[in-house]
């Protein structure tokens, strides 16, 4: 996820671009840049780091001009650096592009353009766009962009400038958000409404497959094929703070609702065109090296550790390799048995978690290969690991992780399937079936989010309690641990998660009349045993809220309230069953009057041991 902004009018564009980027910095903050058409032609300034670094450069050497584009980056292709920052230009520096999204076929396009003599200077997929547009330009920037877009696969929102037509700003949307702001004698583009709200409250919201051509005099909307579109302006009556949150009350709720997109983006180009095979070019292990793996260690902290618990089951079931899952803060101190045949998987949202970094370094010292799953390109974990799977969830602002966690689950599914393909531990038909299930998850998450009101009612009930229990078996237990952590983090309700079969070994002593119990019962092979455990707590007066699959009718007979998630393969269920638990935590915290996005005593990234 990145933020883009553009301006054409009569005012100095540099200041407007910088102010717009400040409002979008929550979408990405590892680098920033602007391109402005000046009396000396198209000029670009960009730099690694927070927006303040770029702002300082521009104060020393301003760019004067009334048309420009800007970008704040969250890296997906290429580490954060000056050269990888946007905007990108072609070799002539006559065309400039800012981009939010992913170009899935950029490698083949890059090879084709290189054969024509184009020289690339960055590691990004975006630079390919500027070269492609330049190669197709025949005097009409709109047609050149249309031709370029017809050859690109993936998700993108684009802002395009050319020195040859300095009176036009071209914008394109395909599966990445983009809005057009309409002013008097000036017009704007932005990834989100906050970027332009200081200057106008009249906007066009582009739909997928649409583009806009902005001049000082007006805006033309059209399809990517060039058919003109007529649309009424939307008047924004939100304040800026609300607009930054996309109309949601809190960043956490916004990020919960961004999960379908995060799922799609993380899968992205990692599923081939046939939809039957996983492709992970970022993993450099040869088939022989994969076959030499004798054990896997998954090491992580907090929410990432819970993703690792799901990953353990996924890898063991799909690849049939034994897996241990460890809390990173304990890993080094138990003298783990690590050999060159051990694959160590470290999981960290930020890629800077101190305990996880220490575990990574210990594993490498012992000769193990290290694979990182992280949400931040260029982070310490991603730089030091041998292989990296980046989760394309975009920046997460709320302290309590939601979309970063579920994107880690998607990464584990992809990895498990990739290992199974290589080791031939599962049939091609089975792998294709699981991939099909993966691709259906975003739509099913959307369906759960549509039913959030039912979760809100339960959350308001439990918000009056001081103690709560989560129970589940198998993968349901792993999800119960994450649900319990979320609730503790932001509602401050004391909560514990237990493997349901362990209740009779001591925990039942804590169950008393009216105590809420959240029971997950989504695993078909463990369903009857889970129901038996639920009966143990209801017999002692617990009030049970059960989560099961649609179409299952038995659970409702033994619990007080039920919530049904869409059906999927048992292995994929955690990517759905955790969503109502995230909502439960959010609404319980809200009911208790807490600061949802910034819970007490916690930080987003833990960079000390």
Catalytic positions are 2, 604
Whether the Cβ atoms of residue 568 and residue 434 lie closer than 8 Å to each other: no
- Return phi, psi of residue 411, to 5°: -60, -40
Total Cβ atoms within 10 A of residue 453: 9
Give the end-to-end CA distance of the chain in Å, rounded to a whole number.
29
Residue 95: strand pairing partners: 162
Tokens of 139: 């005097």
Q: Which residue from 477, 505, 476, 480 is spatially nearest to 495, judged by alpha carbons? A: 480
Q: Which helix (H) or strand (E) holds 575?
A: helix 574-591
Total Cβ atoms within 10 A of residue 282: 11
Integer Cα distance of 308 and 355 in angstroms: 15
Integer Cα distance of 306 and 326 in angstroms: 10
Q: Which residue from 210, 266, 279 is spatially nearest to 408, judged by alpha carbons? A: 266
- The runs of H, that is alpha helices, within 206-325 are 240-244, 251-257, 259-267, 287-291, 302-319
Integer Cα distance of 343 and 481 in angstroms: 25
Q: Which helix (H) or strand (E) holds 390?
A: strand 387-390
Q: At what angle do helices 428-450 and 259-267 cross, to 10 degrees?
A: 160
* SS3 category, 399: coil
Whether the Cβ atoms of residue 180 and residue 124 lie closer than 8 Å to each other: no
Unique residue bearing structure tokens 């090491």: 299
Unique residue bearing structure tokens 């806009």: 212
Instruction: Please count the CA atoms within 13 angstroms of the CA of 214 that sit on its side-chain side.
Output: 32
Its sign, for the CA torsion 35, 36, 38, 41, is: positive
Contacts of 266 (CB under 8 A, 6+ apart): 391, 392, 393, 407, 410, 411, 414
Q: Which residue from 462, 400, 387, 318 is spatially nearest to 599, judged by alpha carbons? A: 400
């Amino acid at each position: 996820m990145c933020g883009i902004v553009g301006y054409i009018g009569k005012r100095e564009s540099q200041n407007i671009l910088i102010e717009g980027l400040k409002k979008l910095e929550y979408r990405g903050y590892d680098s920033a840049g602007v391109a402005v058409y000046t009396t000396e032609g198209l000029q670009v300034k960009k730099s690694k780091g927070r927006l303040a670094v770029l702002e300082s450069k521009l104060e020393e050497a301003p760019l004067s001009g009334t048309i420009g584009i800007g970008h704040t980056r969250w890296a997906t292709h290429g580490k954060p650096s000056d050269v990888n920052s946007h905007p990108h230009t072609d070799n002539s520096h006559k065309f400039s592009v800012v981009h939010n999204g992913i170009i899935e076929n950029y490698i083949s396009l890059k090879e084709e353009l290189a054969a024509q003599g184009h020289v690339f200077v960055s590691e990004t997929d975006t630079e390919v766009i500027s070269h492609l547009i330049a190669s197709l330009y025949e005097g009409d920037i709109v047609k050149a962009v249309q031709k370029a877009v017809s050859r690109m696969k993936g998700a993108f929102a684009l802002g395009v400038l050319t020195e040859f037509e300095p009176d036009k700003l071209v914008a394109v949307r395909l599966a990445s958000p983009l809005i057009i702001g309409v002013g008097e004698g000036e017009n704007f583009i932005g990834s989100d409404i906050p970027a332009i709200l200081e200057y106008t409250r009249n906007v066009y919201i582009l739909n997928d497959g649409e583009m806009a051509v902005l001049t000082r005099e007006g805006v033309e909307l059209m399809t990517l094929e060039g058919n003109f579109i007529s649309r009424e302006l939307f008047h924004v009556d939100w304040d800026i703070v609300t607009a930054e949150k996309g109309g949601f009350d809190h960043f956490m709720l916004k990020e919960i609702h961004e999960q379908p997109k995060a799922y799609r983006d993380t899968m992205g180009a990692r599923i081939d065109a046939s939809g039957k095979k996983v492709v992970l070019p970022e993993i450099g292990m040869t088939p022989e090296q994969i076959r030499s793996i004798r054990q896997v260690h998954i090491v992580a902290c907090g929410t990432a550790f819970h993703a690792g618990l799901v990953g353990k089951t996924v890898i063991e079931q799909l690849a049939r390799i034994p897996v241990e899952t460890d809390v990173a803060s304990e890993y080094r101190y138990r003298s783990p048995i690590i050999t060159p045949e051990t694959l160590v998987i470290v999981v960290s949202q930020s890629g800077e978690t101190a305990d996880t970094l220490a575990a990574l370094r210990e594993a490498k010292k012992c000769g193990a290969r290290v694979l990182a799953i992280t949400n931040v390109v260029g982070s310490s974990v991603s730089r030091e690991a041998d292989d990296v799977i980046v989760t394309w969830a975009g920046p997460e602002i709320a302290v309590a992780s939601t979309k970063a966690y579920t994107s880690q689950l998607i990464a584990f599914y992809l990895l498990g399937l990739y290992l199974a393909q290589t080791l031939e531990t599962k049939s091609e038909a089975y792998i294709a079936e699981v991939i099909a299930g993966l691709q259906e998850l975003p739509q099913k998450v959307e369906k759960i989010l549509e039913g959030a009101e039912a979760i809100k009612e339960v959350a308001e009930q439990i918000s009056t309690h001081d103690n709560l229990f989560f129970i589940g078996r198998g993968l349901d237990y792993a999800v119960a641990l994450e649900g319990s952590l979320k609730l503790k983090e932001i509602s401050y309700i004391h909560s514990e998660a237990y493997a349901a079969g362990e209740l009779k070994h001591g925990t039942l002593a804590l169950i008393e009349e009216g105590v809420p119990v959240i029971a997950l019962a989504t695993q078909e092979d463990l369903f009857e045993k889970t129901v038996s455990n639920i009966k143990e707590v209801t017999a002692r007066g617990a009030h049970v809220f059960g989560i099961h699959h649609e179409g299952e009718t038995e659970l409702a007979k033994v619990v007080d309230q039920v919530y049904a998630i869409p059906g999927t393969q048992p292995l994929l269920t955690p990517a759905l069953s955790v969503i109502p638990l995230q909502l439960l935590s959010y609404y319980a915290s809200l009911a208790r009057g807490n600061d949802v996005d910034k819970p007490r005593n916690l930080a987003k990234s833990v960079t000390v041991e």
